């Protein structure tokens, strides 16, 4: 409903808004956010978030620059490897540490983001490489059947994600894990594998988004977009996916991305500065979280606050450990 209202407002106040070229530019501009947000939906449904998505996009961009400019590897192989790199980061780093070792997703994905940012700057020597490659440009800016290729990619990613969400065992398992990890274990669901798969998906989406990003600007830049994972989280929450996990879906996320895209495009053609656009996006994220609160989803807040609590020792832990130790000694003495 909000998307329709916002669309109508800009259509009525800005004559250029409804132009075919502007609408296509708007969709192309949110292609990277769309792909990352679709992947982020799976992680959020399991009760987590991936703060490293922006750094993964940047890393893949530098990888493309090196492969295209300094190796004879075909471009289509490079594109596939970009997705593989993203999947590996998501599954083997984030997913393994969070799913198998039970570490906080805040700590793990924040650490991954920091580490990847360092790798990006070291590998690129903080320099931007020009990427003049037909296949990469086709992914980012060229047209297919009269429509920009990124829009086709958005459609394909959405349909595949919709199928995975609604028609696979993994799709059912991730909702169960997000609803209750304990109940999911009791029902025989392999929680660790489900969490790893969710982070692998968002990693693969970030890898594909990196290809689109490089194709759009024709260059590999070491600049990490720290706002990207936050915007993706805003889109996911605006789309109705619960902060606590266990509900929501990619359909709502698509609407959330369109809302952000319409808002940013409308503000741009209205002459509003990009800094104000960032302010509005931040306000939207806060509003989405507040919406969770007023909807009575306290369990989701407890889970997220629990993640923060796991980052530091709790008051009284030392005293409790001493008491347990004394009790253990007394038992042995008896």
Interval 82-108: pLDDT, tens: 999 999 999 999 999 999 999 999 999
Strands (E), 160-204: none
What average pLDDT does this structure show over 119-138?
A: 94
What tokens were used for 46? 């399991």
- Answer whether 216's CB lies under 8 Å from 18's CB: no
Residue 130: strand pairing partners: 219
Residues 6+ apart with CB under 8 A from 332: none
Answer yes or no: is pLDDT of 294 > 90. Answer: no
Residues 6+ apart with CB under 8 A from 277: 263, 264, 267, 268
Residue 147: strand pairing partners: 144
**What pLDDT does 327 receive?**
45
**What pLDDT does 139 receive?**
96
Of residues 205 and 305, which shows the higher confidence score?
Answer: 205
Of residues 330 and 280, which shows the higher confidence score?
Answer: 280
**What pLDDT does 119 receive?**
96
* Confidence tier at 274 by pLDDT (50, 70, 90): confident
**What pLDDT does 224 receive?**
86
Domains and CATH numbers, the chain: 2-313 (1.10.3470)
* Confidence tier at 290 by pLDDT (50, 70, 90): confident
Least confident of 9-13, 191-195, 285-289, 318-322: 318-322
**What pLDDT does 295 receive?**
62
**What pLDDT does 285 receive?**
66
Answer yes or no: is pLDDT of 190 > 60. Answer: yes
Q: What does the pLDDT look like over 28-60, one tens digit per residue?
A: 999 999 999 999 999 999 999 999 999 999 999
**What pLDDT does 6 receive?**
86
**What pLDDT does 289 receive?**
63
pLDDT, averaged across the chain: 87
Distance between the two ends of the chain, CA-based, in angstroms?
A: 70
What tokens were used for 114? 């920091």
What average pLDDT does this structure show over 272-283?
A: 79
Answer yes or no: is pLDDT of 177 > 70. Answer: yes
**What pLDDT does 252 receive?**
94
Answer yes or no: is pLDDT of 300 > 80. Answer: no
**What pLDDT does 288 receive?**
65
**What pLDDT does 267 receive?**
86
Residue 25 neighbours by CB distance under 10 Å: 15
Residue 145 neighbours by CB distance under 10 Å: 6
- pTM (2 d.p.): 0.86
Return the closest-CA partner of residue 117 out of 67, 53, 175. 53
**What pLDDT does 172 receive?**
95
């Amino acid at each position: 409903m909000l998307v329709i209202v916002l669309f109508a407002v800009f259509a009525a106040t800005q004559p250029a808004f409804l132009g075919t070229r502007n609408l296509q530019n708007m969709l192309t501009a949110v292609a990277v956010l769309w792909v990352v947000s679709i992947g982020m939906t799976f992680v959020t449904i399991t009760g987590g978030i991936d703060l490293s998505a922006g750094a993964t996009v940047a890393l893949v961009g530098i990888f493309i620059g090196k492969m295209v400019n300094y190796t004879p590897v075909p471009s289509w192989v490079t594109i596939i490897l970009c997705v593989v790199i993203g999947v590996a980061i998501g599954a083997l780093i984030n997913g393994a540490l969070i799913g198998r070792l039970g570490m906080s997703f805040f700590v793990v994905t924040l650490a991954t983001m920091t580490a990847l940012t360092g790798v990006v700057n070291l590998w690129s020597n903080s320099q931007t490489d020009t990427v003049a490659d037909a296949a990469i440009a086709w992914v980012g800016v060229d047209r297919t059947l009269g429509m920009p290729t990124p829009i086709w990619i958005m459609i394909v990613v959405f349909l595949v994600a919709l199928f995975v969400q609604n028609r696979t065992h993994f799709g059912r398992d991730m909702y169960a894990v997000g609803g209750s990890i304990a109940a999911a274990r009791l029902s025989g669901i392999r929680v660790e594998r489900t969490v790893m798969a969710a982070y692998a998906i968002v990693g693969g989406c970030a890898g594909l988004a990196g290809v689109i990003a490089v194709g759009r600007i024709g260059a590999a830049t070491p600049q990490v977009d720290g706002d990207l994972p936050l915007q993706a989280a805003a889109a996911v929450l605006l789309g109705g996916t619960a902060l606590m996990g266990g509900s929501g879906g990619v359909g709502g996320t698509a609407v959330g991305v369109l809302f952000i895209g319409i808002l940013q495009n409308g503000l741009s053609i209205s002459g509003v500065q990009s800094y104000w656009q960032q302010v509005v996006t931040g306000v939207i994220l806060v509003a989405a979280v507040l919406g969770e609160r007023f909807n009575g989803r306290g369990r989701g807040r407890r889970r997220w606050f629990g993640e923060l609590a796991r980052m530091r020792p709790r008051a009284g832990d030392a005293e409790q450990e001493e008491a347990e130790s004394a009790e253990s000694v007394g038992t042995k003495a008896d």
